């Protein structure tokens, strides 16, 4: 049964945003949904507001969309809109302040991918060969920006089992005139010795500076380290999340598996894996270019 915030169907709205705009991450869609919850629902107390937002987040977690950035984005959104002073304000005034702050927060996040792309673009040189994994919108936009700057380079993209998102990535890059070769996930080791660098996106950045991303990222990172190739992560700061996994088992099950698979995960294929910080060279974010060890400091700034 779908949970609703008042008469507003959170789950349907969230899924509708993602269906209409394939360029949005699930985290941005979650924030847009929470803004609509604020607009559509009246609150008598701030506590009621928090409860409604938590119910909306839970409703989105009941879908089969990637959950890592939904959780982190929603937490940061809630923190940001409640930082204002609400003394001597009516609930209608509080709601308008929160709406205004929420829209400012969203506008800032919508710019973050372009900021990341501009930073990472400087690391692409003429003639270089780049390996990437699955379909990252941030990596895609970075490569397109580099191509528009008249840089010539070659991309290898993994097919990415099980949903073969790499095929879509290849089509999108080829449509922009970028030379892109689709490879099997099992060919990463074979291709790695011929590339100059690795670009991957991330569904989440954890407190240690490691990342949660499409399954196979950890394998690619280990291979890159063994062959001494730089492994770069391109990610927006709203995906920074307060988790500290030590291994693959520490990741929450609803991050790793489809909602429909949670009844029997023994037969399910994981969607994401955890890549420890030791395998990551740099993270390109809208907060700047970070080493993995610097992530914890940025998380403290974001959440305090």
How many other C-beta atoms are found inside a 10 Å radius of the C-beta of residue 156? 23
Residues 192-250: tens digit of each pLDDT: 999 999 999 999 999 999 999 999 999 999 999 999 999 999 999 999 999 999 999 99
Residues 36, 180, single domain; the answer is no
Looking at residue 1, what is its pLDDT? 31
Q: Is 50 exceeded by the pLDDT of residue 284?
A: yes
Highest-confidence range of 239-243, 258-262, 281-285, 292-296, by mean pLDDT? 281-285
Residues 289, 159, single domain; the answer is yes
Please report whether residue 117 resides in a domain: no
Residues 47-93: tens digit of each pLDDT: 888 888 889 999 999 898 889 999 999 999 988 888 766 767 788 88
| Cα–Cα distance for residue pair 274/215, rounded to 1 Å | 8
Size of the chain, expressed as the number of residues it contains: 304
Looking at residue 129, what is its pLDDT? 98
Residues 227, 278, single domain; the answer is yes
The label of the residue with tokens 């270089």 reads 128
| Cα–Cα distance for residue pair 245/277, rounded to 1 Å | 11
Q: Output the domain CATH number for residue 76.
A: 1.20.120.1070
Looking at residue 84, what is its pLDDT? 67
Please report whether residue 126 resides in a domain: yes
Q: Are 275 and 218 in contact (CB under 8 A)?
A: yes
Q: Output the domain CATH number for residue 234.
A: 3.40.50.10470
Residues 88, 133, single domain; the answer is no
**C-alpha count within 13 angstroms, C-beta hemisphere, residue 273:** 16
Looking at residue 2, what is its pLDDT? 39
**C-alpha count within 13 angstroms, C-beta hemisphere, residue 57:** 21
Kindly report the backbone phi and psi dihedral angles of residue 173, in degrees, each rounded to the nearest multiple of 5, phi listed first: -70, -40
Order of strands across the sheet with 231-234?
A: 179-183, 154-158, 129-132, 197-200, 231-234, 282-285, 288-290
The domain in which residue 146 lies consists of 122-303
Looking at residue 5, what is its pLDDT? 42
Residues 134, 259, single domain; the answer is yes
Element (H, E) at 198: strand 197-200
């Amino acid at each position: 049964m779908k949970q609703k915030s008042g008469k507003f169907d959170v789950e349907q709205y969230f899924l509708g945003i993602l269906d209409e705009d394939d360029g949005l991450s699930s985290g941005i869609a979650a924030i847009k949904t929470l803004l609509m919850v604020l607009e559509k629902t009246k609150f008598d107390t701030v506590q009621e507001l928090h409860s409604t937002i938590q119910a909306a987040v839970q409703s989105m977690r009941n879908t089969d969309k990637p959950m890592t950035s939904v959780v982190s984005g929603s937490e940061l959104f809630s923190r940001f809109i409640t930082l204002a002073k609400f003394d001597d304000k009516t609930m209608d005034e509080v709601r308008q302040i929160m709406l205004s702050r929420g829209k400012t927060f969203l506008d800032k996040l919508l710019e973050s991918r372009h900021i990341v792309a501009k930073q990472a673009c400087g690391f692409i040189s003429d003639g270089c060969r780049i390996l990437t994994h699955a379909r990252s919108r941030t990596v895609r936009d970075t490569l397109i920006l580099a191509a528009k700057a008249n840089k010539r380079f070659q991309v290898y993209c993994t097919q990415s089992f099980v949903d073969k998102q790499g095929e879509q990535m290849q089509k999108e890059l080829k449509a922009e005139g970028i030379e892109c070769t689709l490879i099997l996930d099992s060919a990463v080791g074979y291709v790695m010795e011929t590339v100059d660098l690795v670009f991957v996106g991330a569904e989440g950045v954890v407190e240690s500076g490691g990342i949660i991303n499409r399954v196979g990222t950890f394998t690619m990172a280990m291979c890159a380290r063994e062959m001494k190739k730089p492994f770069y992560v391109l990610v927006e700061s709203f995906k920074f999340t307060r988790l500290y996994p030590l291994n693959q088992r520490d990741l929450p099950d609803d991050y790793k598996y489809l909602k429909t698979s949670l009844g029997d995960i023994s037969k399910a294929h994981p969607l994401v894996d955890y890549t420890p910080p030791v395998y990551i060279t740099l993270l390109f974010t809208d907060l700047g270019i970070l080493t993995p060890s610097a992530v914890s400091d940025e998380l403290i700034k974001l959440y305090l």
